Structure formats: C-alpha cells, structure tokens
A and B are shown apart, each in its own frame.
Chain A
Amino acid sequence: AQSVTQPDARVTVSEGASLQLRCKYSYFGTPYLFWYVQYPRQGLQLLLKYYPGDPVVQGVNGFEAEFSKSNSSFHLRKASVHWSDWAVYFCAAGTQVVGQLTFGRGTRLQVYA
C-alpha cells in the first residue's frame, strides 16, 4: 500500500540552528514528492516539489530537500532556522496514475530563541 511516514511528530530547535525533518515513502516506482507547510490558522502551502531529476530540490525561504531512492526518503533541510518557521510540515507523495496525494501525519516544528 502507498504510504508516507514522518517519524517525528514534534521537533524543537533553537533559532539559528540547522534543521532536518524526516520523510520516508512507500510507493511502487518513484512517485513525485512534496513538502507543504501549514502556519497557524492557515491552509497548507507548497514549500518544494520533486520529480525525477536532480535529487536535491530547492524551495522557498531557504528550504531544500534531498531525494534518496535507496533509502526511500525525502528529508527536508534548512541551514539556519528562523522563529517564523514555527509551523507544521507535511510530506506528501503521488503519481499521475493515482491522481491524488498521500500525506504524512505532519511534523510540528517549534523554534526557540
């Protein structure tokens, strides 16, 4: 069955520290992969998306993600976290055949000064 797993429900970092949010997928073949962010009281917004090509994808606000076929992973990274990054981050996967995305449960990022 298709699935997306975000093993960390909550991550806490200090402002200025580096960040990695983990995402593992289970899909037949190589799906398209996405990271979305949800700020308080808002809908989800796209951070970045991957389709077959360069394994490192650049997104908005200094975020990037790296695809690994061998590890079935698509981890999100940021070199220096800002307090405004406090939000919930969702990893998602999909294929054209299915026509819809499978979302992970989300990782809540808390940033402290």
Chain B
Amino acid sequence: DAGVTQTPRHEVAEKGQTIILKCEPVSGHNDLFWYRQTKIQGLELLSYFRSKSLMEDGGAFKDRFKAEMLNSSFSTLKIQPTEPKDSAVYLCASSLGWGGASAETLYFGSGTRLTVL
C-alpha cells in the first residue's frame, strides 16, 4: 500500500513568491492534516480536513496559508506570499479518523523542506 506522498521534497522560493505544496493521502483515509515543523516551534497544525471538510484552519496561519482538498486523494497547501520566516519542513499526514473505541494512527509523508530567500 502506498503511504502519504508529498511533492516536491525540496522547494526554494524568493520572498513574495507563491508556492504550492502537494499531498496524496493514504487511499481510503478520511482525515488529512498539514503541519509545519521547525526546531524552535516544533510541530504546528496548519489545517485539518475530515472527509474533505475543513475542520481547523490553523488560526494564526490563516492570512497567507490556504489548504484545500480538491478530492479525497489530493490536497494542496498554498503559501502566498512567502516570507523568509516560512522556511520550515511541511508535513502532511492522514488517518482513518476517530471511530468507536479505537484511536487512529497518523501516517506521515516525508515532508517538503521549504527555503525562502
């Protein structure tokens, strides 16, 4: 079974550019998450979708960050315009969701390392 696929693995952008990161979740998963990972802040939730509906839009990240689920098997994260402080690893994760008495596992992609100059 394919895991979570993220493209590209690396992205270099100039300040002010628009970049789009892509994610393909595990087939059949209902929940999809976008996280930003930095050494200083750790893992920060950017967006959370359940069955393609946006459940969490990341609060402080709303103004320049926009995540979409175009269909159940593809999601994008757009950053517009980029700033040097956006340099980080962006992780996408998916899961079956919470059901019954079981707690569902998150499956992570390998991430996209973004560098903004």
Contact = CB atoms under 8 A, between A and B. Distances in A.
Interface stretch (A19-27, A41-49, A75-83): A41-49
A94 B42 contact: no
Interface string A13-45: 000000000000000000010101000011111
Contacts of B61: none
B45 interface: yes
A41 B98 contact: no
A99 B55 contact: yes
Contact of A100 (B45, B102, B108): B45
A88 B93 CA distance: 17
A51 B101 contact: yes
A96 interface: yes
A41 B110 contact: yes
Contacts of A100: 33, 45, 48, 55-56
Contacts, number: 50
B102 A43 contact: no
Contacts of B105: 34, 46, 49
Contacts of B111: 42-43
Given A43-B4, A99-B98, A32 B50 contact: no
Interface residues of A, number: 21
Given A51-B103, A99-B97, A106-B42, A44 B48 contact: no
Interface string B52-71: 00011000000000000000
B19 interface: no
A96 B100 CA distance: 9
Nearest to B91: A43
Contact of B102 (A45, A51, A99): A51
Given A34-B105, A45-B108, A90-B43, 11 more contacts: A36-B106, A36-B108, A41-B110, A43-B108, A43-B110, A49-B105, A51-B101, A94-B98, A94-B103, A99-B31, A106-B42
25 contacts: A34-B103, A41-B110, A43-B91, A43-B108, A43-B109, A43-B111, A44-B91, A44-B106, A44-B108, A46-B105, A46-B106, A49-B103, A90-B43, A96-B98, A99-B48, A99-B98, A100-B33, A100-B45, A100-B55, A100-B56, A103-B42, A103-B43, A104-B42, A105-B42, A106-B43
